[in-house]
Amino acid sequence: MDILRFITAGSVDNGKSTLIGRLLYDTKNILADQMNAIEKASKSRNNGEIDLALLTDGLRSEREQGITIDVAYKYFQTANRKFISIDAPGHLQYTRNMVTGASNADLAIILVDARLGVIEQTKRHSLIAGMLKIPYVIVAINKMDLVDFSEDTFLKIAADYRELADKLKIENLKIIPVSALNGDNIVDKSPSMPWYQGETLLSVLETADVHRGAAEQGARFPVQFVLRPQTSELHDYRGYAGRLISGKLRKGDRISALPSGSSSVIAGIEVYGKEVDEIVVPQSATILLEDDIDISRGDILTAGTDQPVPTQDVKSLICWMDDRKELKPGNKYLLQHGTSRVRCSVKQIDYRIDINSYVQEEGVEALRLNDVASVLLRTAQPIAFDPYSHNRANGGAILIDETSNVTVGACMLEEV
């Protein structure tokens, strides 16, 4: 069954936890013992009314103690699809978690409080969703019960949002009026909003076509390990293990190994020890080649006509995620792209994007937490990437602080 990964984003208290709880509850994905625990906890805290946000609260308390995770995952399924929900906390300083969670999301649900409409945080999350090219965006206008299920309020917010979406070139967009608390338009159509003729949230989640194109792109296979058994009968065996991040590979295909550019032909493909003729994204496999060429971890096997040209000059949109240190020209980092890690230095900051107007500001000297900017990097070795706008999987990268080993930036690479 096909899997949809979606992220929920919105300001504090917009109702993300309640919305996910409602989805799980109405799709019967809550186990009986979980339900008992929630009922008990609700009784003591909420005058007996069931508080669906408690479903994700276990994860939240961990987060408040600052011990485990900053992005929480939940798994559920319906008859039509499996889902992985990625919860990014709404506080401003957590924008970076949205970036981390969203970089491989198929769809984003952006929550808007019907009483507040489009606010700065909505704009920030939408900018990131647009930048990360999340294929599909649902704007859930929540707490409709608190604005008397007013159609006018909905239309006004929807019009404001559409203006934003046009600027950000968000293409697949659905705007849905909901009440997460009561379950209106989440799984079932709302009897309180007969004026809304569109789909429910679950129906969009089940049918959104988000996988288009990934298999039609050029093949990209970052090498994770080189397998070279020491036994004498396998002494010629040399396999390259990894995961195909875009396109297809077939036995007999001519491939290039980048960044060196050496070329060979696929002699065999193994998946879990069995020979297969073809793999498609996102399968993991071991590739065998006809020629013994020099390939190591971090290299990428590519096929197809539109090949990346390895380069050391890299332009990138960066979302800066370090709350302690600024990004400045001259600073050095590690750039992790696929399975390769190379040193790089910051050449210059071209411009920063203003969150409210989306205007490009020039002459910026440093980036602070949550800044989004276009930056020029110079890497110590060439890397073979595709522009993020053509290939999300091979166009994304992260910046790592060498001394602390912390991820400090999310990068969307562009051609210089």
Ligand X SMILES: Nc1nc2c(ncn2[C@@H]2O[C@H](COP(=O)(O)OP(=O)(O)OP(=O)(O)O)[C@@H](O)[C@H]2O)c(=O)[nH]1
The footprint of ligand X (CB under 6 A) covers 10, 12-18, 53, 89-90, 142-143, 145-146, 179-181
In whole angstroms, the minimum distance from the beta carbon of 145 to ligand X comes to: 5
* Cβ closest to ligand X, residue 189 vs residue 347: 189
In whole angstroms, the minimum distance from the beta carbon of 323 to ligand X comes to: 18
Strand 239-243 to 219-227 pairing: antiparallel
In whole angstroms, the minimum distance from the beta carbon of 73 to ligand X comes to: 15
In whole angstroms, the minimum distance from the beta carbon of 401 to ligand X comes to: 27
- Could you give the CA distance from residue 184 to residue 201 in angstroms, rounded to a whole number? 9
* Cβ closest to ligand X, residue 125 vs residue 220: 125
* Cβ closest to ligand X, residue 145 vs residue 350: 145
* Cβ closest to ligand X, residue 89 vs residue 242: 89
In whole angstroms, the minimum distance from the beta carbon of 404 to ligand X comes to: 27
- Could you give the CA distance from residue 10 to residue 210 in angstroms, rounded to a whole number? 22
- Could you give the CA distance from residue 361 to residue 131 in angstroms, rounded to a whole number? 17
User: Which residue sits closest to ligand X, CB atoms considered?
Assistant: 15
* Cβ closest to ligand X, residue 146 vs residue 366: 146
* Cβ closest to ligand X, residue 63 vs residue 352: 63
* Cβ closest to ligand X, residue 181 vs residue 269: 181
In whole angstroms, the minimum distance from the beta carbon of 178 to ligand X comes to: 7
In whole angstroms, the minimum distance from the beta carbon of 11 to ligand X comes to: 7
- Could you give the CA distance from residue 107 to residue 172 in angstroms, rounded to a whole number? 10
* Cβ closest to ligand X, residue 89 vs residue 409: 89
* Cβ closest to ligand X, residue 85 vs residue 264: 85
In whole angstroms, the minimum distance from the beta carbon of 49 to ligand X comes to: 9
In whole angstroms, the minimum distance from the beta carbon of 205 to ligand X comes to: 18
Q: What is the dihedral of CA 287, 268, 278, 393, to 10 degrees?
A: 10
* Cβ closest to ligand X, residue 86 vs residue 266: 86
In whole angstroms, the minimum distance from the beta carbon of 53 to ligand X comes to: 4
* CA proximity to 277, closest of 262, 292, 287: 287
Cα atoms in the 13 Å half-sphere on the side-chain side of 57 = 13
